Amino acid sequence: MTDLYLFTKAPSAYEPTRYKEEGDKLGLDIQIVVYSDLDFVLTESGTRILWKGEDLVAPKAVVFRAAGNDNFYIPQRDFLIDWFLERGVKVLNAETYKTWSRLDKITQHFELQKAGLPFVESTVYGLNERLIEQTKTFPVILKKNLSSRGRDVYKLKNSIDAKYLFEQGYFARTMLLQPFLKIGQDLRVIVIGGKVIGAMKRIAQSGQFLTNFSQGGIVESYDIFSDTKALDIAQKTAKHFRLDYVGVDLMMGADGEWKILEVNRSCQFKGFEASTKINVPAKVLEFLGLTK
């Protein structure tokens, strides 16, 4: 019986590769399943799930990596979650996916506000023209609600920058407008099974504002266990969003207090492992009950 299926759009990415490495060390059978290799045959009598032309067989556990910002595979993923759960398979983050099929940045901020958790105050405008007319203080940050790895995040110096973005096909209704925080660094905190396992500090390169490791940000280990406020926020965030595994990004606000930037339920961890020396796949496999 296969121990773990890891579903992904990018089988050669760092994260699937690391899971395979750790699985090999532990003698586990870990299979990487590419979303596009799946076919679903729906009939009145039931649904067949084909993986590379063969019927999919339930494993012991499942990890879903991001289905992609285009959302093409989210219906398939959601069906698979129910299918696996009916067969007694442990699915990482099943509860959060069943509650929020899509957890974009705008949905996150509505939820953070309802939960009373600290976050970077934001505005979502219904019309491009209203954003341009009502934004008087610059610079500001404008970020798309569906994006990752620092993509589609823009620092606007004036209304001309905003007009240019909208001319490229962006819409205010799908973006968050936020104040520009000058600190130039933030935290990525990883929580597994409700407990923080560690944190890294991400620092923007000189002259840049993006701190993401994938965008060239400098990373270093951060002693999260000595920072009880950041520790508490990260764990409460994971609990609210019903997450088994999550990366919680925090930034210091203008008031000197930690604010939640983003919640990433399939967060990347290359920079995290490099800076903290914490073995993320091993921690996840342990949580799933797969370690021998």
Do 79 and 160 share a domain, yes or no?
Answer: no
Query: Is the predicted pLDDT of residue 212 greater than 60, yes or no?
Result: no
Q: What is the pLDDT of residues 27-75, one digit of tens each?
A: 999 999 999 999 999 999 999 999 999 999 999 999 999 886 667 899 9
Average pLDDT over residues 147-160: 86
Do 111 and 236 share a domain, yes or no?
Answer: yes
Residue 146 pLDDT class (50, 70, 90 cuts): confident
Do 254 and 151 share a domain, yes or no?
Answer: no
SS3 256: coil
Mean pLDDT, all residues of the chain: 93
> Could you tell me if residue 156 is inside a domain?
yes
> Could you tell me if residue 286 is inside a domain?
no
Domain count, the chain: 3
**The tokens 């979650």 sit on which residue?**
81
Do 112 and 211 share a domain, yes or no?
Answer: yes
Do 169 and 189 share a domain, yes or no?
Answer: no
Query: Is the predicted pLDDT of residue 140 greater than 60, yes or no?
Result: yes
CA distance 61 to 6: 9
Decide which of 218 and 141 is more confident.
141
CA distance 198 to 140: 30
For 124-159, the DSSP string reads: --SSHHHHHHH--S-SEEEEESS--TTTTEEEESSH
> Could you tell me if residue 289 is inside a domain?
no
pLDDT at position 150, please? 66
> Could you tell me if residue 235 is inside a domain?
yes
pLDDT at position 264, please? 95
Q: What is the pLDDT of residues 67-99, one digit of tens each?
A: 866 678 999 999 999 999 999 999 999 999 999
Do 221 and 262 share a domain, yes or no?
Answer: yes
Containing structural domain, residue 159: 128-179
- Read off the CATH number of the domain in which 162 is found: 3.30.1490
Do 72 and 132 share a domain, yes or no?
Answer: no
> 196, 217 in Cβ contact below 8 A?
no
- Read off the CATH number of the domain in which 19 is found: 3.40.50.20
Residue 267 pLDDT class (50, 70, 90 cuts): very high
Average pLDDT over residues 7-15: 95
Residue 181 pLDDT class (50, 70, 90 cuts): confident
> Could you tell me if residue 290 is inside a domain?
no
CA distance 84 to 268: 24
Query: Is the predicted pLDDT of residue 208 greater than 80, yes or no?
Result: no
pLDDT at position 241, please? 98
> Could you tell me if residue 258 is inside a domain?
yes
| Omega of the bond leading into 118 within 30 degrees of 0 (cis) | no
Do 221 and 273 share a domain, yes or no?
Answer: yes
What residue type is 263 in one-letter code?
V
- Read off the CATH number of the domain in which 212 is found: 3.30.470.20
